[in-house]
Amino acid sequence: MKLTKFFLVFVCVIPVALRTASQNRSTTIKVQAMNMATAFIKNDFNTFVKYMHPGIIALAGRKEKMKAKMDSAYQSMKRFGINFKRYWIGDPGEIMNYKSQLQAVLPVSITLITTLGELTVEASMIVISDDNGKNWWFIDTNVYRGDQLKDAVTDISPELVLPPRKEPKLVPIRNN
C-alpha cells in the first residue's frame, strides 16, 4: 500500500516539477532576450555581446569586427531617421536537451519607424544554454542560417524546426 501511494505521488509530482522547470527556463529566456534587445537598441555592445554564441562571434570576425558592424548599423539608422517602435519576444518552443545543451526556437518581431512607413520583420532565434538554463545565447536565424549557421555552431539539434522566413511588411505612411 505504501509503495502504491509513493508511486502515485511520484507520478503526479514529477510532471509538475518538470513543467515548473520549463516555465522558469522560458521566463529566463524571455528576460535575457529582452536584455539583449535593449542592449541592441541602445547600441550597448558590451552587454549585447554577452548574449552572442561564441561561434557566431568567431564567424563575425571576433568582437572587434562585430562591434564595428554594430556601430555602423546604428549610425546608419540614426542618419536615415530609423527608430525602433517595438521589439516583441514570443514564447520559446519546446526546450530540448541536445549534447549537454538546452536548445529552443524563440519567435521575435521588430517594428521600425522609417521615412517610408512602419517596417515589421518577424524572425526566429535559436536559443542555447550550456549551463542548464542559467544563461542563454541567441542566434538570429535571419542573419545566420543554413551552412553558415552549421559552420559556426556545430551542435544544433536536428530536431529544432525553424519556421520559414517571412517577408518584411511595410505599412506606408498615409499622406492626408
In single-letter form, the type of residue at position 50 comes to: K
Residue 23's pLDDT is what? 67
Q: Looking at residue 89, which CATH number applies to its domain?
A: 3.10.450.100
Domain count, the chain: 1
Distance CA 126, CA 103 (A): 7
Supply 79's cell numbers.
542618419
Instruction: Give the count of beta carbons closer than 10 Å to the beta carbon of residue 95.
Output: 17
Instruction: Kindly report the pTM of this predicted structure.
Output: 0.82
Distance CA 150, CA 167 (A): 23
Residues in the chain with pLDDT values less than 70: 1-23, 176
The whole domain housing 168 covers 2-172
- Return the closest-CA partner of residue 154 out of 90, 81, 99: 99
pLDDT digits (tens, 9 = 90+) for 103-152: 999 999 999 999 999 999 999 999 999 999 999 999 999 888 777 787 88
Distance CA 73, CA 164 (A): 25
